[in-house]
Structure 1
Amino acid sequence: MTARPLLIAALWALALPGHAASPPAAPVDRAIAAYADGRLPEAAAGFRQLAAQGNALARYNLAMMHLRDELPRSRVPEARRLLEQAAGQGFVRAELALGELHEQGRLGRVDLVQAQRWFLRAAEHGSADGQLAVGTAFFLGRGAARDMAQAARWFREAANGGDVGAQYLLASLYEQGDGVPRDLRLARYWYDIAARNGDEAAPFKRQEIDARIESERQPDGA
């Protein structure tokens, strides 16, 4: 039950403004309230009606109910259909969910190439989660050819979007010179940001980089 309010909050925050054919907000509010209260049949009925009217948020919500087995006849293929409809409307959370379905093999087999395709769409639409996933795929060579320059590009996008993990990873790339020119000052900059945002390892890396920068300042034989 604790995940439901968080899920709905995320959905509501990610609803795209100005969608054509979107119904008034009040029915969406009622369905969301029913879901948050645990009145799942009522919520499902509301989301189903709104989804049929073309509401991307309702389509996503109904898909999540299928995936969480919260419906009498929950079906993953139906969740996929709804998510693809919502993704076709530019609903970023649906793009991420489709990437996760392929990545986790919930559609019958793991398909990292398709996962990367959907994560890339989310990344291009500004999702820090999608950007981190795409960067990780390039970093590891999973679902895409290993490409450290592309990994650095997408880690930077996610880092600028506030993702702490991406901030730390980008710092490490600058420290090692992987995909970017080696630059201890930029490494220090991103380790510092990650530290300020709560990464537990980053303060130690920041201290280590400070010592290395100071050492490189010293003339030979000093």
Structure 2
Amino acid sequence: MNAKALLDSLRSAGCELRVDGDRLLVRGDGLNDDLRSEIRRNKPELLALVAAESVLELARRLGFPRFELLRDNWTPSDEDGWKDFVRTAEPEDVRLAGEILRSRLVEAEHVPTSEELRGDRAGGRRLLHALWLAGYEIKLEPSENAVGYALIPVGTSHEGTNFPKLYAMFERYHDAAVQLLVETCQRLRIQPQKWHIEALKLWQRLTAEEPVAKTAPSVRRKSLR
């Protein structure tokens, strides 16, 4: 069963699917052992399908002007803009936006499907998304190469990752991808070698709920009765 057919089967069985970072949450009384087995077998593709649907659903609810803010700031370089979004959007939209950010799929549905190469910067962005979709986190380490840093994929890839294609993209677009991340680090005023730590903290902070103000402890009074 392919991922699209599996998604249809799960929804026909009354199951609810949600992306949480690199996890796929599936709930519903119709979930059985056969479906669980298929989910494990198709997890990377299923994860991408559900995440892309989440992006489109958010676009529909927000309207495209606000969605373009979310999409175009695929790395949160405009902190004021993100805080404005978090402050003014509906709680469900904030939750959904945070879900998308955590899974690094803000532009998943905009990644070119054509094999045609569309410029180095676009290729660098495609490489970053391909690595994230494959299950990797990304570190930048100082290097003597032309761009000053090397891009290091960290973690374990999802089953079914197309390594020859990923390797070809890495060879061609490594420097462009590094340059994109370095520029982002400069805007965010973080050290490039701390990208993998600070970017996650920033995403979490921008999508966090406002803290509830502490109230003074109540004083227990004796009843007059």
The TM-score normalised by the length of structure 2 is 0.27
Structure 1 or 2: larger strand share? 2
The TM-score normalised by the length of structure 1 is 0.27
Structure 1 or 2: larger helix share? 1
